[in-house]
Structure formats: C-alpha cells, structure tokens
Amino acid sequence: MSEPTADTGLRAGETLDHFRLDAEVARSGMATLFRATDLRNGQTVAVKVPHAEMQDDPVLIERFRRELEIGQELDHPGVVKTIAVEAPSRPYMVLEWVEGRLLRSLLNEQQRLPVHQAVALTLCICDALDTMHKHGVVHRDLKPENVMVGGDGRIKIIDFGIAMKEAARRITHVGVSPLMGTPDYIAPEQVKGERADQRSDIYSVGAMLYEMLTGRPPFIGPNPLAVMNERLLRDPDPPRALNKEISPQLEEILRRALERDPRHRYATAAEMAWELEHPELVGVEADERRLAARGRMAFNRRKLLLYAGLALVPIALFVIMLLLARR
C-alpha cells in the first residue's frame, strides 16, 4: 500500500465506494487519476479524483461537473467513455480504462512519425472531433498528452478538463486566466483570450500533425509567452523544409489547418479529413485555382470600374457643355 497522496487524501489499495484504487497513474494540477477495479464486476476502470483545493473552488468544481456531463453525453469509439456512478460519496468520476500509449510517448521515442502513420492518426482524431463538434463540444486542449494510441492504431481523446459546450455560458472568475490550453497547440484566438470554437480544435489538430511530421511543434521559443507571441505574428516554417517526405498537398492541408484567422481554416473536422483522404484534389493546383479565382475577381472589379467610368463620360461632357453655354 503506497503513501497517501497530499492532494486527494487517498492511497493505492484503499476503496472509494465500490472501487478499489489499485495505482496512481497520473496527476494534473486539478486531479489525480487512479487505475481501479470495480468490485461489483471486476472491471478495470480509471477513477479521476479532484484535489482538495479544487473542491473549495466553485469555478473548478463547475469545470469538473461539466467534464462529467460532457463525458456522459458523448458516445464514440475515439472518445474516452464516462461511467455513471449512483450517489458518489465525494466528487469523482469513473472512466473506461484505456490500454495503449500517449501520443506524446510515441513522439518522444520516434521524434517524428512516418507520413502514413501521422495521417492515419489524424484521420482518427478528426473522426472523433466531428462527433464532439456535432454535439457542440469544444475540447480546447488537444495535444499529444491528451491522445491515447492503442496497439491497433486507433486513438482515444482523453481529458475534457477544460472542454466546453459552445452553447454554455462562459465561466469567469477573478484569478482565473481566460487563456486555455497548452501554448504549443492552442489557436491564436485562444492566445488573445477569445472564446474558442470547433475551428480552434482544428488548429490544435494541425499543430499535432505538424509535430508528428516534422518532429517539432509549429512554433518554438525560450518560454511559453514567446511561443504564443510567435503564433500571433507569423506563420509556421514550411513543413517541407523540415521533412522532404511531406507532399505539397499535405503541406497545403497543414497550411489551411494552421491559418491564424479562423475564418480561413477548415470549417469542420470532416472537411479536413476529406482532404487528408483525397490529397490529389488539394495542394499546388488548389493554390493555383485560388490565385486564378482571385485574379478573375480583381479583373472583374477593374472591368466594372472601367464600365462605370465610361458610363460617366457622356454625363461629364454634358456638364462641361452646359457650363460653357452659360458663359
């Protein structure tokens, strides 16, 4: 039996209601995660227990309640499932136990992944995101630490600690920063403290794919503030300059996912997935079509101005002749 944790007052080997806490497996700033056994049926589960100081903060407790609510609402193989508990003796949540490795662990081991593997993982993430977004859920903290990769290559998105419902009121509280998420992966609008939406998650997916393909996040710097500032001021280095195996089409997909202005990003995760599955329809040719379209628009505007100017010529001549006649 291990020593008690300072944050929860619980130790491995103890029982919480009908769950035996077998081992502490992770700890964040808000909660501790235990691998546990449901003594009613022998099922292995994960039990997430908020820290004592969190239970005294109404804002953090509201976030925990919202995470529990979101987890019970979502039903997708790519999203960790929340298991309902009747009359819990204290605030905690029970999640399905997920076998596998964190995407962060894979990246630490391999630095960058083969292109086909990176794309396959991103497609799985997009599929899960599409379901989440259709339920109005924005994760707001997608990063390699929050993606589990199973032995079959499938993923599970975990940790909805700062997720939100797009229709929900915004939680504000003195002392709580409006900045959400992790500096390497959050969208520019999150850096500015603006409300995130599904396009913010798409930016984070683009940042993860960029790292999977190049071995580094889109922006690096001496500290988190510098990283966030870079994201507001410039675009990432072209990924093909860091990995020649990246095709022009895939680079174009990354460029669109990482647009600073959310209006220019993919509108949905399904849209990004479609282009990942059909790279032959994007890339350099798509760029040329966009440039040609912009050129046609500019030409049409110039033509319209020319016609408007020609239409004004007779009027101008009439005014001049009228003025001369009055003299």
Residues labelled catalytic: 141
Degrees to nearest 5, angle at CA 100 with 94 and 103: 105
């505007």: which residue's tokens? Answer: 301
- On whether the CB atoms of residues 246 and 235 are closer than 8 A, the answer is no
Name which of 251, 273, 252 is nearest 201 in CA terms: 273
End-to-end Cα separation, the chain, in angstroms: 110
Tokens encoding 292: 């040609």
Segment holding 206, helix H or strand E: helix 198-214
3-state secondary structure 253-315: HHHHHCCCCHHHCCCCHHHHHHHHHCHHHCCHHHHHHHHHHHHHHHHHHHHHHHHHHHHHHHH
Dihedral pair phi/psi, residue 50, rounded to 5°: -65, 150
Residue 279 CA to residue 283 CA, distance in Å, equals 7
Radius of gyration of the chain (CA): 26
Q: Exposed e or buried b for every residue in 108-119, given b needs 16+ CB within 10 A?
A: eeeebbeeebbb
Other CB atoms closer than 10 Å to residue 264's CB: what's the count? Answer: 10
